[in-house]
Structure formats: C-alpha cells, structure tokens
Amino acid sequence: MTPPALLPDKPPAARAGWPELIIEALIRAAGYSAILFVILIVLFLLREGLPALGEVAPADLLGARWYPIEDYFGLLPLIGGSLIVTLGAVLIAVPFGLGTAIFIAEVAPRWLREFLKPLIEVLAGLPSVVLGFMGMLVLTPLVRETLGTPTGLTAFTGSVLLAGMALPTLVSVAEDALDSVPRSYRNAALALGATPWQTIWRVTVPAARTGVLTAVMLGIGRAIGETMTVMMVTGNAARLPTGLGALFLPVRTLTATIAAEMGEVANGSVHYHVLFTIGIVLFLISFAVNLTASAVVFQQKKRSERLLS
C-alpha cells in the first residue's frame, strides 16, 4: 500500500474539500448574523423613531402628560408607570424567588427538587397573555375587594403578575449560582459546628452573591420588558405616579403603550414616530440591564478561571 502524499499539489486551503469549506463558511456567517440582527434592530428603531425628535420638542417629550390625541407626548408618566410596576414586581419576586432558589438548591431532598424544577419551568412556559387573562378574571376582583380600591386594575396587580413572569429566570439563575458554590465550603462550615442554616446564610449565599445579583438583574430585565400581562391588568391610565401610594392606582407602562396604540396610528404620523421612540428607550434600558448582569457573570468567570489554573 503506497502511503498517501502528505504534501498536496493544491494550496493547503483546498484540502478539506469544497463542501466542507462551504459548510464552514455558512456556520461562520450564522455566527456573525447575531451582530447583523442587532444592527438591523437599532437601524430600524432609529429610522422610525428619530423623526419624533424633530416633530416634538425634547422638552415636551419629557413632559408629564401623555395625551396623543391632543398632541401631548410626555413620556414621563409612562416611564414612571414602568418603573413603579417593575419596582413592585422586584419587591415581590426577589424574596420569594431567592427563598425558592435557596430551598431548591440547599434544603429540598433530591426527589422534591426533580419535581419543583420542571414545575418552575412550566411557569416560564405560561404565555404572558394567559397570565394576564387569569389576572383579569381572578386577581383583579381579589385586589379590588381586599384593598377596597374602586377597580382592581392597579400597578400592584401588574406587579404581582410580573413577579410571576420574572420568577422562573430569577429562581433558575440564582439556583445555578448556589449550586456552583464548591461543596468543600459547606463541609468546612458544617465541620466547624455551624447549623445547616448558618452554613447557608453565612457561607453559601454570600459565596454565590454575584450570581444571585445577576439573577435579580435578569429578573428586572424580564419584568420591565413584559407587555401583555401589564396591559391587561394595570388599567392603562397614563398618570404620573407620585410616591408609593401610586402602586394601588391604575398606571400605564412603556410597553403597554406601544402595544395598545400602534394598531391605531397612521404610519409615518408623529404619534407613530413617538411610539418608536419609546421602543428606543426600552431597547436602551434592556441593553443596560442585561449588559450589567452579564458583565457580572463575565467577571465572575474570569476570577474562577484564574483560581483554577
């Protein structure tokens, strides 16, 4: 048997065979496509949203009145609405989410964990419109009767549902973070006579704090961008919230405004452009939140890589 020649007649690039080179070129292109899509999204948001800055005075955009029919395009009430609903959601989701994550990661026996984790995933899979629907039919009357408000459609109602939307992300990321704390930390604390709870609270949770922080950030990102649930239960009154009492009044968020009004505006009108401007604001907020969250993760990874090498 004569050995195959090691030195090819053709240039080395041709060696893999052209079908393989085409496949690899496609794979490479697919990898770059993510950048392309972000650029396209930015481009089209700017294309449709930037004209608003010429049509509405910037000072008016920062006004406290959103009443497009009379050309009032003040975004403050919407931003305030999004903030207060998100704040409420975070206040609810963080303690319950972290509690659940700690329970699943540290306390629950194996069989229970194998049951709870898919259950949380079911929550992640519930369409937001289904949650909103249940919110309208079940939660809203409950809020009205319990709080004695004239309507159950309040920021608080939205916060409760948004907390539900944010929980799966929060729980699974936080649980991963707790899970990746080395077993030896726990064993060391237990060997020193700490109770299991002292070990969790003084050792495991602090060791996982960056991951837990990431979980909270991602949960916030999820809550602020949620659309259908808040639109269905918050009453959609564009009123500037002043103080925590506004939690129990109807509000209108950035996302709900786009969803509710885009269907009724004429393409190319001022109102249309301003709705895209709101899209730009949402894009910037989510970009900031998610980049912060992932920067924490990157740093954490680098540190652990240094420790391991």
Partner 1 sequence: MSRHLTQRLAFGLLILATLATTVPIVLIVGYIAAAGLPAISLEFLTAMPRDGMRAGGIWPAIVGTLLLTAGTAVVAVPLGIAAAIYLAEYAKDTPLTRAIRIAIINLAGIPSVVYGLFGLGLFVLFLGFGTSILAGSLTLAIMTLPVIISTTEEALRAVPQAFRVVSISLGGTKWQTIRRIVLPQALPGILTGVILGLERAAGETAPILFTAAAFFLPRLPNSPLDATMALPYHLFVIATQVPGMPVQIQYGTALVLLVFVLSMNFFATIIRSRARARRQW
Partner 2 sequence: MKIVIEHLSVQYDDGTESLRDISLTIPANQITALFGPAGGGKSTLLRALNRLNDLVDGVRVTGRILLDGEDIAGPGVNVTALRRRVGMVFAQPVPLPMSIRQNITYGLELAGVRERAKLTAAVEKSLRAAALWDEVQDRLEAPATALSGGQQQRLCLARVLALEPEVVLLDEPTSGLDPISTAKVETSLQAIKRDYTVVIVPHSVQQAARIADLAAFFLQGELVEAGPGQQLFLTPKDQRTNDYITGRFG
Site for partner 2 in 6-35 (CB under 8 A): 6-8, 11-12, 15
The contacts of residue 133 (CB under 8 Å, 6+ apart) are 232
Whole-number Å distance between alpha carbons of 80 and 74? 11
Q: Which amino acid is at 106?
A: E
Nearest-approach distance from CB 181 to partner 2, in angstroms: 28
Partner in contact with 104, chosen from partner 1, partner 2, none, beta carbon below 5 to 8 Å by kind: partner 1
Report residue 63 as tokens: 């006004």
- Is position 181 an interface residue for partner 1 (rule: CB under 8 A)? no
Query: By CB under 8 A, how many residues form the interface with partner 1?
Result: 86
Q: Which does 4 bind (CB under 5 to 8 A by kind): partner 2, partner 1, none?
A: partner 2
SS3 218: helix
Among 34, 59, 69, 308, binds partner 1 (CB under 8 A): 34
Q: In the bound complex, what is the minimum distance in angstroms from residue 243's beta carbon to partner 1?
A: 26
Asked if 26 interacts with partner 1 (CB under 8 A), we say yes
User: Please, what is the minimum distance in Å from the beta carbon of residue 32 to partner 2?
Assistant: 21
Do 207 and 181 contact (CB within 8 A), yes or no? yes
Chosen from partner 2, partner 1, none, partner binding at 232 (C-beta under 5 to 8 Å by type): partner 1
Contacts with partner 1 in 227-286 (CB under 8 A)? Answer: 227-228, 232, 255, 258-259, 262-263, 267, 275-276, 279, 282-283, 286
Residue with Cβ nearer partner 1 (242 or 299): 299
Q: Are 77 and 238 in contact (CB under 8 A)?
A: yes
Other Cβ atoms less than 10 A from the Cβ of 176: the count is 15
Q: How far apart are CA 100 and CA 175, in angstroms?
A: 9
303 binds partner 1 (CB under 8 A): no
Q: Which does 125 bind (CB under 5 to 8 A by kind): partner 2, partner 1, none?
A: partner 1
Which partner in partner 2, partner 1, none is near 59 (CB below 5 to 8 A by kind)? none
Separation CA 264–CA 151 (nearest Å): 26
Q: Sketch the per residue contact string, 142 through 161, with partner 1: x for CB under 8 A, - otherwise.
A: --------------------
Longest Cα–Cα distance of the chain, Å, equals 92
Size of interface with partner 2, in residues (CB under 8 A): 10
235 phi and psi, to 5 degrees?
85, -20
Instruction: Give which of partner 2, partner 1, none residue 66 binds (C-beta under 5 to 8 Å, depending on kind).
Output: none
CB 85 within 8 A of CB 166: no
Q: Measure CA 221 to chain center.
A: 3
Binding status of residue 190 toward partner 1 by CB under 8 A = no
Q: Does 59 bind partner 2 (CB under 8 A)?
A: no
One-letter amino acid for residue 258 of the chain: I
| Tokens, residue 122 | 């079911």
Cβ nearer to partner 1, comparing 20 with 242 = 20
First-to-last alpha carbon distance for the chain, in angstroms, is 46
Contacts of 27 (CB under 8 A, 6+ apart): none
Binding site for partner 2 (CB under 8 A): 1, 3-8, 11-12, 15
